[in-house]
A and B are shown apart, each in its own frame.
Chain A
Amino acid sequence: MIRLLFAALLIAFGTGAWAHAALTKSIPGNREVLAASPASIHLKFNEKVEAKFSKVSLEDAHGKPVTLGTPAVAADDPYALQTPVTGPLAAGRYTVRYRVLSQDGHVIERSFVFTIGTPETPTP
Chain B
Amino acid sequence: MIEAYAAGARALAALCGAYLIGTPLFLLRAGASDDPAVRAWRARLLRFFPIAALGLLFALLGLLHAQASGVAAAVADLALTRDIASSTAFGRIALVRLGLALLLVPLAIGCAVRAGDRISIAAVAAMLLAAVVVGAGPLSGHAAGTDVATVLVTLHVVHVLALACWIGGLPAWITLARAAQHDHDGSIRAFAAVAMTRFSRFALPCMAVIVVAGSLIALEFVDDQGDLLGTRYGRLLCLKILALLAVLAIAHRLRTRWLPRLDEPADLDVHADGVRRTQREALFAVVVLALGAGLAQTTPAIHDQPHWWLPWRLSFDASAEVPGSRIAVLVGAGLLIAAAWWAALGARSGRGARRGIGVLGLAGLGTAAWGLSVPAYPDTFLRSPVPYLTLSIDQGRRAFAQNCVACHGTGGLGDGVLASTLRRPPADMSAPHTALHTAGDMYWWITHGMPEGPMPGFGSVLDDEQRWDTVNFLRVFSQGFQARVLSPRIVPRGPWLGAPDFYYATADGGRAQLKDLRAVRAALIVFTVAGDPRSLARLGALRSRADPRLAIVEPTSPDVWQAYQFLTRTLADRGAPDRLDLPRRHAEFLVDRFGYVRARWLPEDDPTHANDFDLDAAVSALAEEPEILPPPDLHLH
B135 in complex: contacting residue of A2, A29, A34, A101, CB < 8 Å: A2
A104–B140 touching, CB < 8 Å: yes
A9 in complex: contacting residue of B87, B128, B136, CB < 8 Å: B136
Report the bound CA distance from A17 to B392 in whole Å.
30
Number of A residues, CB within 8 Å of B: 42
Q: How far is the CB of A76 from chain B (nearest CB, A)?
A: 15
Report the bound CA distance from A3 to B213 in whole Å.
15
B149–A25 touching, CB < 8 Å: no
B142 in complex: contacting residue of A3, A104, A119, CB < 8 Å: A104
Say yes or no: A53-B145 contact (C-beta < 8 A), given A2-B135, A22-B303.
Answer: no
Q: Is B403 an interface residue (CB 8 A)?
A: no
A106–B299 touching, CB < 8 Å: yes
Q: How far is the CB of B116 from chain A (nearest CB, A)?
A: 23
Considering only residues 69-107 of chain B, those with a C-beta below 8 Å from chain A are 70-71, 73, 84, 87-91, 93
Say yes or no: A121-B87 contact (C-beta < 8 A), given A17-B145, A20-B300, A20-B303.
Answer: no
Stretch in B150-158, B355-363, B448-456 with 4+ CB within 8 Å of A: B150-158
* Chain A residue at smallest Cβ distance from B135: A6
**What 1/0 mask marks residues of chain B from 394 to 424 whose CB sits below 8 Å from any chain A CB?**
1100100100000000000000000000000
Say yes or no: A19-B146 contact (C-beta < 8 A), given A5-B128, A6-B157, A31-B387.
Answer: yes
Q: Is B176 an interface residue (CB 8 A)?
A: no
Q: Is B562 an interface residue (CB 8 A)?
A: yes
Say yes or no: A53-B139 contact (C-beta < 8 A), given A33-B391, A101-B88, A124-B398.
Answer: no
A104 in complex: contacting residue of B141, B158, B516, CB < 8 Å: B141
**What 1/0 mask marks residues of chain A from 38 to 49 whose CB sits below 8 Å from any chain B CB?**
000000001110
A27–B511 touching, CB < 8 Å: yes
Report the bound CA distance from A83 to B398 in whole Å.
34
Q: How far is the CB of A94 from chain B (nearest CB, A)?
A: 15
* Chain A residue at smallest Cβ distance from B84: A53
A5–B132 touching, CB < 8 Å: yes
Tell me which residues across on chain A come within 8 A of B557, comparing CB atoms.
Answer: 33
Q: Is B492 an interface residue (CB 8 A)?
A: no
Main secondary structure of the interface of A (DSSP, over half): loop
Report the bound CA distance from A17 to B140 in whole Å.
9
B131–A2 touching, CB < 8 Å: yes
Q: Is A70 an interface residue (CB 8 A)?
A: no
A17–B144 touching, CB < 8 Å: yes
Q: Is B329 an interface residue (CB 8 A)?
A: no
Report the bound CA distance from A13 to B142 in whole Å.
15
Q: Is A72 an interface residue (CB 8 A)?
A: no
B139–A10 touching, CB < 8 Å: yes
Say yes or no: A103-B391 contact (C-beta < 8 A), given A6-B132, A10-B153, A47-B145.
Answer: no
B139 in complex: contacting residue of A9, A31, A47, A50, CB < 8 Å: A9
Q: How far is the CB of A57 from chain B (nearest CB, A)?
A: 15
* Chain B residue at smallest Cβ distance from A103: B89
Tell me which residues across on chain A come within 8 A of B90, comparing CB atoms.
Answer: 18, 103-105
B128–A2 touching, CB < 8 Å: yes
Report the bound CA distance from A2 to B129 in whole Å.
9
Q: Is A32 an interface residue (CB 8 A)?
A: yes
Say yes or no: A19-B401 contact (C-beta < 8 A), given A101-B71, A103-B140.
Answer: no
Q: How far is the CB of A4 from chain B (nearest CB, A)?
A: 11
Q: How far is the CB of A72 from chain B (nearest CB, A)?
A: 14
Report the bound CA distance from A13 to B90 in whole Å.
10
B71–A107 touching, CB < 8 Å: yes
Tell me which residues across on chain A come within 8 A of B389, comparing CB atoms.
Answer: 30-31
A29–B513 touching, CB < 8 Å: yes
* Chain B residue at smallest Cβ distance from A112: B387
Q: Is B558 an interface residue (CB 8 A)?
A: yes
**What 1/0 mask marks residues of chain A from 104 to 122 whose CB sits below 8 Å from any chain B CB?**
1111000000000001110
Q: Is A88 an interface residue (CB 8 A)?
A: no
Report the bound CA distance from A34 to B391 in whole Å.
13
Say yes or no: A48-B89 contact (C-beta < 8 A), given A53-B71, A124-B398.
Answer: yes
Q: Is B503 an interface residue (CB 8 A)?
A: yes
Q: How far is the CB of A38 from chain B (nearest CB, A)?
A: 10
Q: How far is the CB of B13 from chain A (nearest CB, A)?
A: 14
Tell me which residues across on chain A come within 8 A of B503, comparing CB atoms.
Answer: 29, 32-33
* Chain A residue at smallest Cβ distance from B21: A2
Tell me which residues across on chain A come within 8 A of B91, comparing CB atoms.
Answer: 105
Tell me which residues across on chain A come within 8 A of B154, comparing CB atoms.
Answer: 6, 10
Tell me which residues across on chain B come within 8 A of A119, comparing CB atoms.
Answer: 391, 559
Report the bound CA distance from A1 to B128 in whole Å.
9
Q: How far is the CB of A122 from chain B (nearest CB, A)?
A: 9
Q: How far is the CB of A1 from chain B (nearest CB, A)?
A: 7
B88–A50 touching, CB < 8 Å: yes
B70–A107 touching, CB < 8 Å: yes
Report the bound CA distance from A18 to B141 in whole Å.
7
Tell me which residues across on chain B come within 8 A of A53, comparing CB atoms.
Answer: 71, 84, 88
* Chain B residue at smallest Cβ distance from A47: B145
Could you list 25 examples of A-B contacts with CB < 8 Å? A2-B132, A3-B158, A5-B132, A6-B132, A6-B135, A9-B136, A16-B149, A17-B149, A18-B89, A19-B143, A20-B300, A25-B515, A27-B511, A30-B387, A32-B511, A34-B511, A46-B145, A50-B87, A103-B88, A103-B140, A104-B90, A104-B144, A104-B145, A105-B71, A121-B398
A residues whose Cβ falls under 8 Å from a Cβ of B? 1-3, 5-6, 9-10, 13, 15-22, 25, 27, 29-34, 46-48, 50, 52-53, 101-107, 119-121, 123-124
Nearest 10 pairs of A and B residues by beta carbon = A19-B145, A18-B144, A105-B67, A103-B89, A105-B90, A15-B149, A15-B150, A6-B135, A19-B142, A50-B88
List 5 additional contacts besides A25-B515, A31-B387; criterion CB under 8 Å.
A2-B161, A18-B139, A47-B145, A103-B145, A105-B91
